[in-house]
Amino acid sequence: MLTTTARRRDAGLLTMAVFLTAAFFLAPPLLLGPDRLDEFPRAFVAYWSSGGPDFPADLQHLVDHQFSYHLIRVLIAVPLLAVLVTLAVLLRRFRLPIGVLALVAAVLLIANVQGAVSPFGTLLWILAGSTDAEVTAALAQIHDQLANGPASPALTVMLDEYVRWHVWKGLLVGLLAAFFIGLSVVTWRRRRRWLSVLAAVAAVAALVVVAANVNVVVNPVPGFLILLEVPGSW
């Protein structure tokens, strides 16, 4: 039977989880203002035309905004994940649904760490499917360089960002897979078979994602071309 102190503790943690969830979605636009992503194609064309690796001022502003956006979310997602894991441990009756929410928080944390370490890379998906003549011409030149070489300094930066994004995803999902493997072993020993099986399935799914990202890191060009051709493929 829960004591008054335990109830207050649990209520406080639940309130904190709700607050952090709202902050995760609301804080970035409130603190940073509009994202102005519609300006990226024009800024990208100017960058590509420059031929160099350094971002022009307009593009640098968008990249800095993207970095700050994801960093804010990382700083919120970390305590949110900690709170949800704590609640999953404390509230045994609601362990499964809270555990699912914790998994969602972990996925969001991973995605935003990727955004923080590769802010320029996370903008490239905007180019996919563009009908702007200048963007289309730039993409055609990118395809030609990837097929025939040599890669310009700008394209090298783009590929580096793309690879970095997948390196971090592979590492972080690998940690998640290790957690699920450990959870599966512990719960199996405690004769919680259904939870052990669920954790094992999650571990296998995570390892598949790790393998896919390792493949991209080893051979990034095919995936990079898909990124530039298919909207939402990032």
pLDDT of 17-73, one tens digit each? 999 999 999 999 999 998 889 999 999 999 999 989 999 999 999 999 999 999 999
Q: Is the pLDDT of residue 230 over 80?
A: no
| Averaged pLDDT for residues 81-108 | 94
Does the pLDDT at position 1 exceed 70? no
> Which tokens go with 31?
């603190």
Q: Secondary structure of the chain in the HEC alphabet?
A: CCCHHHHHHHHHHHHHHHHHHHHHHHHHHHHHCCCCHHHHHHHHHHHHHHCCCCCCHHHHHHHHHHHHHHHHHHHHHHHHHHHHHHHHHHCHHHHHHHHHHHHHHHHHHHHHHHHHHCCCHHHHHHHCCCCCHHHHHHHHHHHHHHHHCCCCHHHHHHHHHHHHHHHHHHHHHHHHHHHHHHHHHHHHHCCCHHHHHHHHHHHHHHHHHHHHHHHHHHCHHHHHHHHHHCCCCC
Q: pTM for the full model?
A: 0.91
Name the average pLDDT for the chain.
93
Band the pLDDT of 164: cuts 50, 70, 90.
Answer: very high
| CA dihedral for 160, 163, 164, 165, sign (positive or negative) | positive
Contact call for residues 180 and 199 (beta carbons, < 8 A): yes
pLDDT digits 0-9 by tens, 119-151: 999 999 999 878 899 999 999 999 999 999 899
